[in-house]
């Protein structure tokens, strides 16, 4: 994707999993990558990996549940590279696992603050910058659970549904200004979010995917980068599953 070359791409949650895979793929196509994560060691490792492969990147630590951190990401990107062309709002957590009646208020708020409010907090300054430029592409991280329910994950499900609605609305509001906004919805992917699960539970999750396996982070990253590119120039306001057939059931 030659049109990615030279563009400035911001990736939140880039320290591991899908975010790391996307940051590295943007860099492989020649983008200047602004790597962000709340985990400083992981974020710096992603940046180091890109630099060692001859790519261009720098790291800004950020907690996306804090509006000022999200604004700082955009100002940092513009301060370093003069513009912001692409944003992948990927940062998120699995959060508390409990039925609704047993879920703590703190657990609910934590997931909503990071997985939904964090996307809004990031999009607001990103859109403001892209409006000035007259062009931009934003990809938001939703989930298959942005389309269906899942036991004991009410906050996560609500947040990911919310991301889809936020994405569609932003696309409607800013398409005429040259800005495209889309959402991706991975199924269960081999990332650190699944590290706490037992092998037995992982096998149960595998059985829910008609392809017979979990997804891999680079498989999601390929779609994210495509949606960020000019090859997707007529695609906006859409949700794309990367789910091994999960939602086909």
Nearest to 207 by CA among 242, 249, 241, 154: 249
Distance CA 64, CA 244 (A): 29
152-190 pLDDT tens trace: 999 999 999 999 999 999 999 999 999 999 999 999 998
- Is 156 annotated in the active site? yes
- Per-residue confidence band for 202, with pLDDT thresholds at 50, 70 and 90: confident
Which of 29, 81, 121, 156 is catalytic? The answer is: 156
As for how many domains the chain has, the answer is 1
Give residue-wise pLDDT tens across range 27-64. 999 999 999 999 999 999 999 999 999 999 999 999 99
* CATH code of the domain in which 19 resides: 3.40.50.720
Report yes or no: 115 and 160 within 8 Å, Cβ to Cβ.
yes
Residue 66 is part of which domain span? 2-248
Q: Which residue(s) pair with 138 in the sheet?
A: 87, 181
Whether the pLDDT of residue 193 is over 80: the answer is no
Is 221's pLDDT higher than 80? yes
């Amino acid at each position: 994707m030659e049109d990615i070359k030279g563009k400035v791409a911001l990736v939140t949650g880039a320290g591991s999993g899908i975010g790391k895979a996307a940051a590295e793929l943007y860099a492989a196509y020649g983008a200047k990558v602004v790597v962000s994560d709340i985990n400083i060691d992981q974020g710096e490792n992603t940046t180091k990996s890109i630099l060692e492969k001859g790519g261009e990147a720098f790291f800004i630590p950020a907690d996306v549940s804090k509006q000022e951190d999200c604004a700082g990401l955009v100002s940092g990107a513009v301060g370093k590279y003069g513009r912001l062309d692409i944003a992948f709002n990927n940062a998120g957590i699995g959060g508390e696992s409990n039925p609704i009646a047993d879920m703590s208020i703190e657990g609910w708020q934590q997931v909503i603050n990071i997985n939904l409010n964090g996307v809004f907090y990031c999009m607001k300054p990103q859109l403001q910058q892209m409006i000035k430029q007259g062009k931009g592409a934003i990809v938001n991280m939703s989930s298959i659970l942005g389309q269906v329910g899942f036991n004991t994950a009410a906050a996560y499900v609500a947040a990911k549904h919310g991301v889809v609605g936020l994405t569609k609305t932003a696309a409607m509001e800013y398409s005429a200004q040259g800005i495209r906004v889309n959402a991706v919805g991975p199924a269960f992917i081999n990332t650190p979010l699944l590290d706490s699960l037992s092998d037995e539970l992982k096998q149960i999750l595998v059985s829910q995917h008609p392809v017979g396996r979990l997804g891999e982070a680079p498989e999601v990253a390929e779609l994210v980068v495509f949606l960020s590119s000019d090859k997707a120039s007529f695609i906006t306001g859409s949700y794309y599953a990367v789910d091994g057939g999960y939602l086909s059931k």
